[in-house]
Every structure is written in structure tokens, then in C-alpha cells.
Structure 1
Amino acid sequence: MDSAAELSFKMESAKQWQKNVEEEFKRVDELLKLVAEELKTQPYEDDTIMMGLKKTGEALAEAFQTLSQNFMNAVAGLSDIMAEWSRTLTKILEAIAEAARKIGH
């Protein structure tokens, strides 16, 4: 079983990873916005290449938004679990310390 210090380090590492991934999501979102800006002019109906690019861009943006939202929901759930785990671990350690004090006296 990991020590409290090891668990704390792992939780900090997980938080840093989460921050890094969130920054990457922001970068991708910015790139998609730039692409959308470039494709702002409506393609003519007979311009199949531009119509295809527009539809592909819209599909990518929608897929990314879904992926991003699902990731954020998962991270929020994991954060809740980690917080509860931390509270439980703290209670256990406090109970062990209390039991050790009682045994020592």
C-alpha cells in the first residue's frame, strides 16, 4: 500500500496532468476556431471541395466539443473520487493515530 506522501505526490501528478490536457484542449479549440474563421465565406453549392471542407470542419468541431465535454466530465468525476479518497484516508490515519495514543497510555 502506498504511503500518504506517495499518494499525495500521485494526486499532485494527476492534477498537473489534468492541467496539461486541459491546456491542449484549449489549443485544439483555438485551432478549430481559426479554421472556422478561414471557412467563414459560404461556399457555392457547386464548389464540392469547399462544401466538403466546411462539412468536415463542422463535424470535427462537433466531435471535439463532445470529446472535450466528456473529458471534463470524467475529470470532474475523478476529482470528486480523489477528494473523497483523501478524506477517507485522512480519517483512517487519524483513527490509527488515536488508537496508537490509547495503546501508548
Structure 2
Amino acid sequence: MRLLLGLLLACAILPAQAADPRAGRRLAGARCAVCHGNDGIAVQPDAPNLAGQNPAYLAAQLAAFRSGARQQEQMSLMARELTDAQIADLAAWYAAIEVTATVPGR
């Protein structure tokens, strides 16, 4: 229930921020690229790909890590000090990366 409330709150607040993908790119390069890659394609086997994700989803997850509603040792530490604006910028950056998929057998 606490996680759901945190996600709903993040969805209600964070999308209203004027997100700057360029600022998100700079922040991602400094904080996120080691695990999630420079292009949002994970380089660590236990890290998810972030490229092309929905910005509201990304913002909600980062807000949940920041608040403690969602727990994962590394992400909880990384998100703890993020501001709402930084979360919106990161979400905008990763959402702006275009991803293509190839369906097997075609």
C-alpha cells in the first residue's frame, strides 16, 4: 500500500515539472551510466535497460527509491539525494532515447 501511494504521488507531482532531457543526460552520465550504460542499455547484468521507458514510470520508480517505498541497496543510495527536478530530467532523458526491437522469425 505504501508503495502504491508513493507511486501515485510521484505520478501526480513529477510530470508537472518542466523536464530537461539535456540536464538528465549530464546527470545520467555522472550517476547512472556505470550500471545503466551511457545510452540507457544496461552494462551490469542485474540492472535494467532504461532507454525508451515511459517517463512517468521512470519518475515514479526513482521517487519510490528516494522515499524508501521501493528498496534496492544501490538504487536507494543513488536516488536518496535526487530532487524532483533531477528525477524529471532523468526520466525525460531516458524516455527520449529511441529503441528498436526485432521480432524473431521475421
What TM-score bracket applies, with the shorter chain setting the length? under 0.3
Between the two structures, name the one with larger relative contact order (CA 8 Å, sep ≥ 6).
Answer: 2
TM-score normalised by length of structure 2? 0.26
Q: Which has the larger radius of gyration?
A: 1
TM-score normalised by length of structure 1? 0.26
Higher helix residue share: 1
